[in-house]
Chains A and B, each alone.
Chain A
Amino acid sequence: MTALLLHSHEPGVDLEPLRGNVITLATHFALQHASSNLEVVAHFEDINVSNLAGLLFWSLATAAQPLAAPTISAPNYGIDHTPVAINCLESGPGQIHPGQAYPRNAKLMAQRRDPNEVWREIKSLAEQEAVSPSQPFIQPLTIKIVGSTIQLRIKLEEGGDLGFGEDPYQLPIKEQILIEALRHALADRQFQSSPQPDIEQNRSLEALPTGSTKTSTYANANERWQCYLDQAQHLVRQMVVALETVTDKNQLKQVLQEAKTQIDEILYSHGQLFDSIANYADEHHYIVVYERGGSVKPFSVSLVSIPDGAKVWLMTDLVYRKQLIVRTDPTQWPWREIVQNPADLIGKYRYIARWPDGRHAEGSIDVTNSNPLRFQP
């Protein structure tokens, strides 16, 4: 496998203003090569542009857009931790007021890029990827004509790895691509028209179970879906603002984690977006097919060490027990270092946490939801 390393920090050269361009280019590149053997690894901190590939990307980024002046003025953004209301049945669209969502919070301000600018780039990139005809990153909804029926295939899975490694921008980019892919699929002309005219005609009204005649129109349903998507997008935007404004690592992790959990709730919880789409499809005689049988979708969990700076290694509890039974050399045990935070985890694990001053902690954890995991010596 070929690895293309993308570095963004040359000693003495501040590449921070290029961050958005680099992300955009790297993501494009990663998506274009998602199915090939080329792995794209992007690092944005503490690395210099010392190798040819890094220089190449740095050059591309520079050529794509002239070096923007670093943003020195403090942006008028803070982070709102208030959970987003996710009842689109009652609230309807137009509930999102991004301006109100980010109250001024001087403590959280930092001299970074304008979050609005970064957000626009991410949004634009996600829109492009959602309509890209080749190698789509994710297809949450697919409409297919099978004989005289129309199938709506619902895929309750996340897209693949963008190859960003530890870079926290991976999370908002992936979520926004999913949102845009959903918008694109819901705007499908086939979805707007009434399917299966033969079944509509043949279906005897007298034979319908109580309540089945009450079908929602596409316009009503779409309004509700767009409301859900707007709310999810609002949370992605909060992530971007947090990434550009929050300097405290733990606080950043917490904000990203909370936003991710809320997005999952908006999309997957009972009675929310996917349920609403399936209900609409059912009412309009689509054949709803859930693409299941894949691997279990893990929770996105933040790892917090107290004090900060610990390295964490995990092993599934089952593997750990096997090691004990076969009495292998503990130095050879297959511990997995957690390098991405939040990490995708589910079930029971054994852990070891080590701090730079030599302290350490070990024990077991059971991941049953997205609550952050805290490690203390």
Chain B
Amino acid sequence: MNEKPHRTRMDEFRSTLADYKSIGPWALGGTVFVPLADYAIRLGPPWPDGLAIITSIVELLVVLTVFHFWYRSSYKRASRRMLLAIALLVGCFGVYLYLNSLFTFTAGANAAKYVKGYAVRPDVAPLITADFTVDDALASSEYNTEAVWTKGSIAVMRIILLFLWLISFALLSMTISSFVIYHRRKRARSIGNGT
């Protein structure tokens, strides 16, 4: 007698994760757990090291949360949530790209990327004119950001860029996992009903 093994909620989560993984690469161009967009297009914020791991953890937490709280969401709710997540994703990633282009620079023999600050140091501020811009000051200080901007503003900008990056990936994760969970549940229901 062929009796179907009982599927626990954890089994269902694993299946959801597998489906999620199979959809993610279309969006990210790489594996899901490691957002290779950072590596492939060098878009990721320069700070901190191990960004891929942090992003991966955030993505996993989002998938867990969506599965735990919104597993039984109706079509209407799931659709609304996905639309909201996509709208926020476009906004956050747009802001991230804008700030990334304004507050990061590439320099050095290895052409690495670094974060600028937003508040110029008091001893440098009097030097800044139309002919000697903040970027000139940076090039004139061996590209030492702390010689031009206050430490605090550099740290804040690092956090802002990181936050926007992580939020963007969390929203992407939310969109994909909402989609996967709803359609898995719909399929499971169809099988259960024999339709």
Contacts and interface: CB of A to CB of B under 8 A. Distances in A.
Nearest to A267: B110
A293 B47 contact: yes
Nearest to B113: A292
B25 A264 contact: no
A318 B124 contact: yes
Interface in B88-134: 107-114, 123-124, 126-127, 132
B39 to A, nearest CB: 5
Interface residues of B, number: 47
A333 interface: no
Contacts of A156: 110, 112
A63 interface: no
Contact of A346 (B47, B48, B108, B126): B108
Contact of A316 (B36, B49, B112, B142): B142
A120 interface: no
Contacts of A287: 34, 52-53, 56
Contacts of A285: 31
Interface in B46-91: 46-53, 56
Given A318-B124, A346-B143, A288 B31 contact: no
Contact of A347 (B25, B110, B143): B143
A308 to B, nearest CB: 27
Nearest to A146: B53
Nearest to B27: A209
Interface stretch (A21-29, A91-99, A200-208, A250-258): A200-208
Contacts, number: 123
Contact of A203 (B21, B36, B114, B141): B21
22 contacts: A156-B110, A202-B21, A203-B31, A282-B36, A287-B34, A289-B50, A289-B51, A290-B49, A296-B142, A296-B144, A297-B109, A298-B109, A298-B142, A317-B140, A318-B124, A318-B137, A318-B148, A322-B127, A346-B109, A347-B139, A347-B140, A347-B143
Interface of A: 146, 149, 151, 153, 156-157, 199, 202-204, 206-209, 212, 264, 268, 278, 282, 285, 287-293, 295-300, 316-319, 321-322, 325, 345-348, 366, 370
Interface of B: 18, 21-23, 25-26, 29-31, 33-34, 36, 39-40, 46-53, 56, 107-114, 123-124, 126-127, 132, 136-144, 147-148
**Considering the complex of A and B, which 5 residue pairs feature the smallest CB-CB distances, nearest first?**
A317-B140, A318-B140, A297-B108, A296-B108, A296-B143
